[in-house]
Amino acid sequence: MSINVAIDGPAGAGKSTIARRVAAEKGFIYVDTGAMFRAIGLYMLRNGIDLEDKEALERECQKAEVTICYKDGEQNVILNGENVSGLIRTPEVGDAASKVSVNGVVRERLLYLQRELASTSDVVMDGRDIGTVVLPNAKPKIYLTASVEVRAMRRFKELQEKGQEAVLEEIQEQIRERDDRDMHRDIAPLKQAEDAVLVDTSDMTIEEACAAILKLIES
Ligand code: DC
């Protein structure tokens, strides 16, 4: 049986950086499920679909074929045959991903792919509902979080380093909005699984957070 590690938590808690490092350390595959929702979000944006239109979303998502492949150990997301990995990291696509992810038909479409990856490989999978819905038998389950202020400041610095303009208060507001949508949707909302261990990275370095999670995996 394959080993499945689940890491859930809100946007900007450091999930992807930490999950990627932990997976590399253990020789497991890192599965970024947010990237799959982002690919669907990108498809809807490109095709001018109203993200609030449930019927259109359910119809159009049948035309968006999302798959995953690994190149040099990195996850690549393929949307209808096109590698879109470099196009899905914008705030617009993140917002679209959060909006499409409230839809049960969209979630169902990606659930199969996520479970298949976990059943065939040792994985560290990150997302919002991995420990609660996608992989209820994952061990360990980690709920990775940090305060809104800390997450916003991290994102602000990231954008500054890239030379992009950013307003801290606006980033904070976007994070609050996304948390609210992800935590309060009807289907598979973001919440800590009962058997998940809470890791708050507000006052931790990436190295400290990785060490804490590796310890949980080894125990
Ligand atoms: O982790 P991320 O920022 O790349 O995720 C983008 C959005 O996708 C997030 O706001 C909610 C959604 N998502 C989800 O609903 N379930 C997951 N397992 C992963 C992401």
What is the per-residue burial (b if ≥16 Cβ within 10 Å, else e) of 9-44?
A: bbbbbbbbebbbbbbeebebbbbbbbbbbbbbbbbb
Say what the pTM is: 0.94
The pLDDT of residue 58: 97
- φ, ψ of residue 200 to 5 degrees: the values are -100, 115
The pLDDT of residue 123: 96
Residues 137-152: what's their mean pLDDT?
A: 97
Atom of ligand 1 nearest to the CA of 37: 8
pLDDT at residue 39 is higher than 90: yes
Three-class secondary structure assignment of 145-175: ECCHHHHHHHHHHHHHHCCCCCCHHHHHHHH
Number of domains in the chain: 1
Domain CATH for 180: 3.40.50.300
Nearest CA to ligand 1 atom 7: 98
Q: How far does the centroid of ligand 1 lie from the alpha carbon of residue 189, in Å?
A: 10
The pLDDT of residue 91: 86
Atom of ligand 1 nearest to the CA of 88: 4
**Structural domain containing residue 83:** 4-218
pLDDT tens digits along 79-135:
999 999 999 998 899 999 999 999 999 999 999 999 999 999 999 999 999 999 999
Q: How far does the centroid of ligand 1 lie from the alpha carbon of residue 74, in Å?
A: 18
pLDDT at residue 73 is higher than 90: no
Q: Which residues line ligand 1 (CB under 6 A)?
A: 11, 33-34, 37-38, 94, 97-98, 101, 127-130, 178, 182
Q: In what order do the strands lie in the sheet with 141-145?
A: 29-32, 123-127, 4-8, 141-145, 196-200
Atom of ligand 1 nearest to the CA of 134: 18
Nearest CA to ligand 1 atom 2: 34
Q: How far does the centroid of ligand 1 lie from the alpha carbon of residue 26, in Å?
A: 24
Number of other residues whose CB lies within 10 A of the CB of residue 99:
19
Q: Which bin fits 101, alpha (ψ -120 to 50), beta or left (φ > 0)?
A: alpha
